[in-house]
Amino acid sequence: MNSTSTHFVPPRRVNIYEPLHQFGMWGETFKSNIGNGNINTPSHIIIPNNQKLDNNLSEDTSHGTPLIFDQETSTSRHPDKIKRRLAQNREAAKKKNNVLISFQFAYVQQLETSRLKLIQLEQELDRARQQGFYVGNGIDTSTTTSLSFSENMNPGLYQEQGSIDKNQNLNVKIKTGIAAFEMEYGQWIEEQNKQICELRTVLQGHVGDVELRLLVEIAMKHYFDLFRMKSAAAKEDVFFVMSGMWRTSAERFFLWIGGFRPSDLIKVLLPHFDVMTDQQILDVCNLRQSCQQAEDALSQGMEKLQHTLADCVAGGRLGEGNYIPQVNSAMERAEASVSFVNQADHLRHETLQQMHRILTTRQAARGLLALGEYFQRLRALSSSWATRHREPT
């Protein structure tokens, strides 16, 4: 009968390898392969040799100590049977041992990967900071900044990258997608305000057509930039764009498929063109009509989309909780919404273009100023309204 000396070998750093310590709590025995260095362990793990956890776990049966996982042997009276049983147990233990060792190994590898990931994230964080991106820290410290507010309103706004270990309290959220769009939009508004100021100043004074044309081109391009931004954002989260969450409350009141109504645009601009030729009047009338027709068509298409999406979600049997039976169909509808946002923006784009074509440079400049001021006033109304609400009654 062999008495192989088996030792449980707990790693020295118990705090990280807590589960390994728990392995030892099982009534299993371990061979000293680890101690012999048969397994290639990472260098920073030091596993001491020859530490016996408990005499009870020793397989040394020369003292007649029964094995914990096989009570039968203690009651058997045949030494051969005992021998065979022990051999079987040893084999089983070997297999389990190997499983456990590979378990340990996998766990250790996982920790290594996490460690490397953490280093990588820290590097990315530094790089992002240098590039001027906003980086928020910690989800537990919920400060009432606008960003954390929008996180509450829109879960999934921020893509969490590498929340490694909650105990270590390192949750780095780097802005992606929608959050980046919000930031970009903030900058767009700032630029918009500057342009409006400049237009106002220039129109009050005397300025040549060339300079005016340049300002008009810049203002038009600014709107087109917004449509591009929205298109990208719609791909990320179409519901976000559709609901106009990125706009102020009064603007949202007039929302039509994620933005302003093209026909509203004409309505806002028209009073500010003092003198118009007959041809211009005719052209604007035609534009207004075709714009209205296009709007109606898109509105009806949108309605149909909403109905079919609602049907998808509402279908199925009662009592199935949040299970969507036609989830693929529903997702397809959501996808189709993206093309509607794009079409609506295309309509806005075209309306602006046509107005630009019909009007003279000076008229176009006045029109763009009027449009810009209109939205400024809506934004001002939103904050006035919000402030009014907070007054104590």
Partner 1 sequence: MDKVVRMSSEKGVVIVSKSSCCLSYAVQVLFQDLGVHPVHEIDKDPDCREIEKALMRLGCSTPVPAIFVGGKLVGSTNEVMSMHLSGSLVPLVKPFQANLC
Query: Residue 67 or 287: which CB sits closer to partner 1?
Result: 287
The binding track of 266-295 with respect to partner 1, each residue x by CB under 8 A or -, is: -----------------x--xx--xx-xx-
Least distance from partner 1 to the Cβ atom of residue 178, Å: 24
> What one-letter code names the amino acid at 211?
E
20, 199, 302, 330: residue in contact with partner 1 (rule CB under 8 A)? 302
**How many CA atoms lie within 13 Å of 137's alpha carbon, on the beta-carbon side?**
7
Strand partners of residue 173: 136, 160
**Piece in contact with partner 1 (CB under 8 A), picked from 100-108, 183-191, 212-220, 334-342:** 334-342
Query: Residue 250 or 291: which CB sits closer to partner 1?
Result: 291
The binding track of 33-72 with respect to partner 1, each residue x by CB under 8 A or -, is: ----------------------------------------
Strand partners of residue 174: 135, 159
Least distance from partner 1 to the Cβ atom of residue 366, Å: 21
DSSP 103-159: HHHHHHHHHHHHHHHHHHHHHHHHHHHHTT--EEE-SSS----HHHHHHHHSTTSSE
Query: Residue 96 or 346: which CB sits closer to partner 1?
Result: 346
Token reading at 315: 């279908």
**Binding to partner 1 in span 131-150, by CB under 8 A:** none
Least distance from partner 1 to the Cβ atom of residue 18, Å: 55
Least distance from partner 1 to the Cβ atom of residue 357, Å: 8
Least distance from partner 1 to the Cβ atom of residue 304, Å: 5
Q: Which residues contact 174 (CB under 8 A, 6 or more apart)?
A: 124, 125, 128, 133, 135, 158, 159, 161
CB atoms within 10 A of CB 383: 12
**Piece in contact with partner 1 (CB under 8 A), picked from 131-139, 163-171, 188-196, 335-343:** 335-343
Residue 71: phi and psi, rounded to 5, are -75, -20
Query: Residue 183 or 220: which CB sits closer to partner 1?
Result: 220
For position 256 contacting partner 1 by CB under 8 A, the verdict is: no
Cα–Cα distance for residue pair 182/285, rounded to 1 Å: 36
The binding track of 340-369 with respect to partner 1, each residue x by CB under 8 A or -, is: x--x--xx--xx-xx---------------
Query: Residue 336 or 381: which CB sits closer to partner 1?
Result: 336
Q: Between the CA atoms of 118, 124, 125 and 128, what dihedral angle is there, to the nearest 10 degrees?
A: -170
73, 308, 326, 360: residue in contact with partner 1 (rule CB under 8 A)? 308
H-state helical runs in the chain: 18-25, 33-36, 72-75, 79-130, 146-153, 177-204, 209-236, 238-243, 249-253, 262-269, 278-314, 327-358, 361-390
For position 304 contacting partner 1 by CB under 8 A, the verdict is: yes
Q: Are 156 and 177 in contact (CB under 8 A)?
A: no
Interacting residues toward partner 1 by CB under 8 A: 283, 286-287, 290-291, 293-294, 296-298, 300-302, 304-305, 308, 332-333, 336, 339-340, 343, 346-347, 350-351, 353-354
